[in-house]
Amino acid sequence: MSQGPASPADDLSAYQGHNDRIAADSPLSVELAAFMQSGISVILAVVTADLQPISGFALACRIDDTGTVRVLLRKPANAALMNVVAQGRPVAVTVSRPHDHRSIQVKAAAARIATVRPDDLPEIARQTAGMRDELIGCAFDPLLSAAYVAYEPGEVVALELKPDRIFIQTPGPGAGSELVP
Amino acid sequence: MTTVTLDVLRRSLEGVMPSVMATSSQDGTPNVSMISQVHYVDRDHVALSYQFFNKTRQNLLATRRASVTIIDPVTYARHRLALDYIETRTEGPLFESMKAKLAGIASHAGMAGVFRLLGSDVFKVRSIELIPSLTVPEPTPERDLLSVVRRSCAELSGIGELGELLDLALDCLERRFEIRHSMALMLDPDTQRLYTLASRGYARSGVGSEVALGEGVIGVAARERTPIRIGHMTSEYRYGAAVRDTARRFGVDEGQITEIPFPGLAAPSSQIAVPIVGGGRTLGVLFAESEETMRFGYDDEDALALVAGHLGTLIMLLPPEESIAPPPAPEPEPAPADAAVTVRHYVSDDSVFLDHDYLIKGVAGAILWRLVREYAKSGRTDFTTRELRLDRTLRLPEFAENLDARLVLLRKRLDERGACIRIEKCGRGRFRLVLGARLVLEEISGEPAEPHLANT
């Protein structure tokens, strides 16, 4: 992966250049939705009522044509985080592509906990393999890269959320800017 | 919650794998990002790199809490840390140590010039949660560092001479730590530069080569009096460039620099520099490097810091030279008639050349010039360190180890050059000038003007 790092300006022009929304009421563009599902890093966070943040890793995310994002994650690793989600608290999800650091954060006022559907499993397998290969491409140890995305199918759970705001998180000048349709 | 402390999680804090950091705004909105550096401060504190004024930063200042998820790159164990923000440091040992490490991480990630440390955010660790994950067992360690340190320190304790002490220390690093490339440098308190006094594992020894305070991991370790290490090498911390840049800035042709080349690896991946401290002063630096990435971890840093600390104490305890009167001048030996060498001394910087080859400068140059002049005047070849110490014209720095270090430097430079002049120890605090040629002395009041880049 020889190309250089992405820049916030790239994110801005990609968003403005592909202005087709994935759904009428979603700020997600088709291009962003494809990026988020491309087999890269997915992390998330919630905040408790007393303002304690909780961070976590996810495995993959899927986006349907209504603009709903299904974040797929390991339940045993995220018990406290799921409890906070169940209380109706806001959720933040960041997707990053290791080889060029392109990163996007979406935020939603709340999320719904859902069970995994049969068609989620091949998609989790595809996206985690993609993330593993990204890490290997960045010279990380292959075993470590595989362990980074390891999961048991029976332990996966889904969070469904409708992003209401999107932020550029690619490092550099302009990082943190909101992408507004 | 478990009772795990940070002390046993340091491998997860090496920056091998990025960590996840979450913060909250005042209204309870989460923010989450990947971060490249979670730095171990002590068993209750970590520091995170502040690189950009972003949402994370605003949140920290507003609510002062963070959650960080870390991964052990060997067992793949994951932990979630609940953190309380205390303060931001923008200078000092912690900042410099993180700055060097971040430069390495940035270089590895292709983000040199984008990642830049603005501050070290220090946090108290409120709780550590073990995250159920798929893990592998802890592998058998390659070596028991505690045992290696103990044996190295015991070996060093018997040595009473500075040059031998440093040579043996580097020998221990090779035999016991399997560190094949290392150097010991001493700090000149007057010029605030470090000069190499011992090295191991290089094509040329580089004895006498210099590093400025603040230059590379060695210079920063000496200036901040803290270990500095890098797991992925970056141009920001390379040696040599600064010297040449300075020379060019002052309009000096590179060929005219009386500079002994720094002997380091051409393409190091990992470097560590640990200050040698004694009597509350930085005496020098113990340095090691490797072509392997991430060769030196927190445990190696601890181990080398113990060895360097022991070295500092031993240097302070080196036996003083015996208080003896200068020996009577022996019968002048007949000067070898078949060969002659011109010893040229430049007053401006005490640089000394043997014929046209640069040998040494500074205090070591002044010492050699004093010895050969005395020999020319009286034929005397035996000297004491005491008489040198009492000679105000040599402008010796205050502390005893400085003279010892200069004599080691001078002896090694002469030996390496296979010069017709050698210095041999002949008893405690006594040494002898051994000459293989007739000496012609020239003193020059101007600057050296010939091409003088040393070959060795």
pTM of the model: 0.85
How many interchain CB pairs under 8 A, A with B? 124
Residue B456 has a pLDDT of: 43
3-class state of residue A85 by DSSP: helix
Compute the distance between CA of residue A121 and CA of residue B335 in angstroms, rounded to an integer.
91
Which residues of chain A neighbour B78 with C-beta distances below 8 Å?
A: 57, 77
Model confidence over B287-342: pLDDT tens digits? 999 999 889 999 999 999 999 999 999 999 987 766 455 555 555 555 566 788 99
CA distances from B228 to B102, B201, B219 (A): 11, 21, 9
| Paired tokens of A173 | 């000048």
Q: How far is CA B437 from CA B350, B414, B418, in A?
A: 22, 14, 12
Average pLDDT over residues A25-48: 96
pLDDT tens-digit readout, B356-377: 889 999 899 999 999 999 999 9
A125: which DSSP letter?
Answer: H
Relative orientation angle of helices B298-316 and B145-156, to the nearest 10 degrees: 10
Chain-chain contact of B24 with A47 (C-beta, under 8 angstroms): yes
Distance CA B95, CA B224 (A): 10
Task: Over range A41-63, report the average pLDDT.
Answer: 97
How do residues A87-97 score in pLDDT, each as one tens digit?
999 999 999 99
Is A68 a residue whose pLDDT tops 90? yes
Chain B residues with CB under 8 Å of A103 CB are 33-34
Residue B38 pairs with which residues in a beta bridge? B48
Nearest to B281 by CA among B239, B223, B325: B223
Residue B324 and residue A63: Cα distance in Å, rounded?
A: 88
- The answer to whether the beta carbons of residues B210 and B259 sit under 8 Å apart is yes
Which residue ranges form the domains of chain A, and what is each CATH number?
Answer: 8-168 (2.30.110.10)
B26, B66, B71 member nearest A53 (Cβ): B66
Q: Which of residues 99 through 118 in chain A touch B, CB cutoff 8 A?
A: 101, 103, 105, 107
The B340-346 sheet, strands edge to edge? B357-360, B351-354, B340-346, B438-444
Q: How confident is the model at residue B253 (pLDDT cuts 50, 70, 90)?
A: very low
- List, as ranges, residues 38-97 from A with C-beta within 8 Å of B: 41, 43-47, 49, 51-57, 74, 76-77, 80, 89-94, 96
Find the mean pLDDT for residues B91-111. 81
Taking only the tens place, the pLDDT of each residue in B218-230 is: 998 999 899 998 8
Structure tokens at B78: 């994951």
- The backbone torsions φ and ψ at residue B219, rounded to the nearest 5 degrees and listed phi first, read -65, -35
Nearest CB to A148: which of B17, B131, B136?
B17
Domains in chain B, start-ordered, CATH in brackets? 6-131 (2.30.110.10), 145-316 (3.30.450.40), 340-444 (1.10.10)
pLDDT at B250: 47
* Chain B contact for A175 (CB, 8 A cutoff): yes
pLDDT score recorded for residue B235: 62
Closest Cβ opposite residue B114 in set A47, A52, A171: A171
Interface test with B, best of A2, A40, A44, A51 (most B CBs within 10 A): A51
pLDDT at B109: 67
Instruction: Give the rounded distance of the alpha carbon of B215 from its chain centre.
Output: 10
What string of H, E and C letters represents the secondary structure of chain B?
A: CCCCCHHHHHHHHCCCCCEEEEEECCCCCEEEEEECCEEEEECCEEEEEECCCCHHHHHHHHHCEEEEEEECCCCCCEEEEEEEEEEEECCCHHHHHHHHHHHHHHHHCCCECCECCCEEEEEEEEEEEEECCCCCCCCCCCCCHHHHHHHHHHHHCCCCCHHHHHHHHHHHHHHHHCCCEEEEEEEECCCCEEEEEEEECCCCCCCCCEEECCCHHHHHHHHHCCCEEECCCCHHHCCCHHHHHHHHHCCCCHHHCCCCCCCCCCCCCEEEEEEEEECCEEEEEEEEEECCCCCCCHHHHHHHHHHHHHHHHHHHCCCCCCCCCCCCCCCCCCCCCCCEEEEEEECCCCEEEECCEEEECHHHHHHHHHHHHHHHHHCCCEEEHHHHHHCHHHCCCCCHHHHHHHHHHHHHHHHHHCCCEEEEECCCCEEEEEECCEEEEEEECCCCCCCCCCCC
- Calpha distance A105→B31 (Å, rounded): 8
pLDDT of residue B18: 86
Is the separation of the CB atoms in B11 and B298 below 8 Å? Answer: yes
Q: Which residue has the higher pLDDT, A16 or B275?
A: B275
The reported pLDDT for the residue numbered B160 is 86
